[in-house]
């Protein structure tokens, strides 16, 4: 398995720590988790929003890695972009939790730049 494939696996798991942050330490009601999360405020709300965003960007990232590999792009470049994507997403999560919106938006844009680059890499 390539380094990029490991990054896809880690990116698939990335939403789960953020939702734990949103739930742990509060009187979490597992009978209606979505309703509970909708009522959260502050860092718990931002953790839930980060959780959702991780799910939203994952399909494009996974597809970009797979298609770049299928097209025969340089595996070293694919690996580099995949690692960069994951590191940017971790930083994005930190910025989201810290409520630094301008940094969060910049990190989001950079991580999506990695995805776009992966899509055009084989060209």
- Residue ranges and CATH numbers for the domains of the chain are 3-120 (1.20.120.550)
CB neighbours of residue 41 within 10 Å: 7
Chain centre distance of CA 36? 22
Give the whole-angstrom CA distance, residue 121 versus residue 42: 39
Judged by DSSP in three states, 36 sits in helix
Q: How far apart are the first and last CA of the chain?
A: 24
Chain centre distance of CA 27? 26
Q: What is the pLDDT along the chain (123 residues), one digit of tens a residue?
A: 999 999 999 999 999 999 999 888 777 778 888 888 888 899 999 999 999 999 999 999 999 999 999 999 999 999 999 999 999 999 999 999 999 999 999 999 999 999 999 999 976
Contact 62/11 with Cβ under 8 angstroms? yes
């Amino acid at each position: 398995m390539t380094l990029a494939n490991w990054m896809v696996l880690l990116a698939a798991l990335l939403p789960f720590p953020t939702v734990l942050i949103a739930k742990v330490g509060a009187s979490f009601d597992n009978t209606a988790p979505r309703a509970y999360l909708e009522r959260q405020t502050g860092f718990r709300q931002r953790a839930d929003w980060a959780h959702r965003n991780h799910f939203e960007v994952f399909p494009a990232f996974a597809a970009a890695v797979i298609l770049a590999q299928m097209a025969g792009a340089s595996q070293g470049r694919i690996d580099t972009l995949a690692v960069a994507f994951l590191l940017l997403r971790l930083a994005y999560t930190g910025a989201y939790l810290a409520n630094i919106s301008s940094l969060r938006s910049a990190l989001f844009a950079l991580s999506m730049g990695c995805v776009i680059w992966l899509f055009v890499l084989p060209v």
